[in-house]
Amino acid sequence: MHQNTPTEKTTENQQLRTTGGYKNLNRFSVAPMLDWTDRHCRYFHRKLSRHALLYTEMVTTGAILFGKGDYLAYNEAEHPVALQLGGSDPAALAQCAKIAQERGYDEINLNVGCPSDRVQNGMFGACLMGNASLVADCVAAMRDVTDIPVTVKTRIGIDDQDSYEFLCDFVGTVAERGGCEMFVIHARKAWLSGLSPKENREIPPLDYPRVYQLKKDFPHLTMALNGGIKTLEEAKTHLQYMDGVMVGREAYQNPSILAQVDNALFDAALPVTDTVAAVEAMYPYIEAELATGTYLGHITRHMLGIFQGIPGARQWRRHLSENAHKAGADLRVIEAALEFVTRKNITE
């Protein structure tokens, strides 16, 4: 596993950020998704877009401070990469933020959007929307000990606290008292009881105009809109009102959308010519990971959707699903799966 040490790299990344080496960092990002956007997933997404900002899965302060594994490991190639933290104790968050900066993360994001019971029992995630002054304290504590951006990802409301005034109070408090300058707004509220996390991503209706209005009323804050974006055309529409867009499920399930992001949203050259090339560009990484004992399936599970809508996509998925978890599975499994999806199919 690749380890990052607090070296000159951190400073270099900060410089890149402040000198604009990364283009409009918040313009397009891939959402934090637990169990999905792990380091293998992010490495793959980076092959598809140089400029998208990539978020980690949520990592709790408890895992970082007391866990046995290294929850902050990532590959240098993933930059720009933001660490999403789950927690509500300002001191613990500050400790984690400091470690994250030393490890070279480009941004720290606080989760104020997850509605799961487990998270609520830990008194963090979406339920924190009900305690804006605590969120402000958390952000301030993290900002005190770091100089990378500390951002907040939140919903437009929780339970019956779903008025526009409530949202404005929350954002206003966290910005003014906590010093938060960048928010990602998931454009639906969360029900803290009665709905599963999955239902909470589908049932409460999306309210884009409310998020546009928020940006209008807080023009000095950087704001990205999240929720339900499925195409780059939709992303472009939101960007007429917002500073950025964040895409979750569509980017994961249909990652080929990422292959157009640099050109469509950053006016930059595409990093790969096609999605087959993106898969092949993973080979050196996969070989290196296999050599350290990673299972092929742990990497390829994030690549299953890359050929969505293309002839052979189903066979590609099936071949990987049936073979990549077998003992000794290596690049030959991917090469065989690729046989189902020819370059001709891609370019036609």
Ligand X SMILES: Cc1cc2nc3c(=O)[nH]c(=O)nc-3n(C[C@H](O)[C@H](O)[C@H](O)COP(=O)(O)O)c2cc1C
Catalytic residues: 114
The binder of ligand X chosen from 111, 146, 151, 222 (CB under 6 A): 111
Q: Which of residues 124-183 bind ligand X (CB under 6 A)?
A: 153
**How many residues belong to the site for ligand X (CB under 6 A)?**
23
Angle of CA points 249, 251, 256, to nearest 5°: 140
Cis peptide before 219 (omega within 30 of 0): no
Angle formed by the axes of helices 132-145 and 90-102, nearest 10°: 40
- Does the annotation list 314 as a binding residue? no
Q: Which of residues 181-240 bind ligand X (CB under 6 A)?
A: 186, 201, 226-229
Which sign, positive or negative, has the C-alpha torsion 321, 325, 326, 329?
positive
Decide if residue 248 touches ligand X (CB under 6 A). yes
- Does the annotation list 227 as a binding residue? yes
Decide if residue 113 touches ligand X (CB under 6 A). yes
Candidates 32-40, 67-75, 269-277, 311-319: pick the segment binding ligand X (CB under 6 A): 32-40
Shortest distance in whole angstroms from residue 251 CB to ligand X: 7
Candidates 7-15, 31-39, 98-106, 286-294: pick the segment binding ligand X (CB under 6 A): 31-39
Contact by Cβ (8 Å): 308, 254: yes
Decide if residue 114 touches ligand X (CB under 6 A). yes
Alpha helices in the chain (DSSP H): 8-18, 39-48, 61-66, 90-102, 117-121, 132-145, 164-176, 208-217, 232-238, 249-253, 261-266, 275-280, 283-291, 296-300, 313-323, 331-338, 343-347
The residue among 126 and 276 lying less far from ligand X, judged by its C-beta, is 126
- Does the annotation list 14 as a binding residue? no
Cα(174)–Cα(152) distance, rounded to whole angstroms? 9
Decide if residue 85 touches ligand X (CB under 6 A). no
Calculate the alpha carbon distances from 342 to 59, 271, 305 in Å.
Answer: 38, 20, 15
Contact by Cβ (8 Å): 219, 232: no
- Does the annotation list 308 as a binding residue? no
Decide if residue 13 touches ligand X (CB under 6 A). no
Widest Cα–Cα separation across the chain: 57
Cα(238)–Cα(226) distance, rounded to whole angstroms? 10
Cα(244)–Cα(102) distance, rounded to whole angstroms? 26
Shortest distance in whole angstroms from residue 93 CB to ligand X: 15
Backbone angles phi, psi at 345, to 5 degrees: -60, -40
Which sign, positive or negative, has the C-alpha torsion 341, 279, 42, 65?
positive
The binder of ligand X chosen from 25, 33, 192, 265 (CB under 6 A): 33
- Does the annotation list 33 as a binding residue? yes
The binder of ligand X chosen from 85, 119, 180, 247 (CB under 6 A): 247
Candidates 27-35, 235-243, 291-299, 328-336: pick the segment binding ligand X (CB under 6 A): 27-35
Cα(250)–Cα(231) distance, rounded to whole angstroms? 8
**Strands 222-226 and 28-30, bridge-based pairing:** unpaired
- Does the annotation list 34 as a binding residue? yes
Shortest distance in whole angstroms from residue 55 CB to ligand X: 7
- Does the annotation list 228 as a binding residue? yes
Residue whose Cβ sits closest to ligand X:
248
Candidates 34-42, 174-182, 234-242, 260-268: pick the segment binding ligand X (CB under 6 A): 34-42
The residue among 75 and 109 lying less far from ligand X, judged by its C-beta, is 109
The binder of ligand X chosen from 28, 32, 54, 78 (CB under 6 A): 32
The residue among 17 and 249 lying less far from ligand X, judged by its C-beta, is 249
The binder of ligand X chosen from 25, 41, 53, 58 (CB under 6 A): 58
Cα(194)–Cα(127) distance, rounded to whole angstroms? 14
Residue set of the binding site for FMN: 32-34, 84, 153, 186, 226-228, 248-249
Residue numbers at the binding site for ligand X (CB under 6 A): 31-36, 57-58, 84, 111, 113-114, 153, 186, 201, 226-229, 247-250
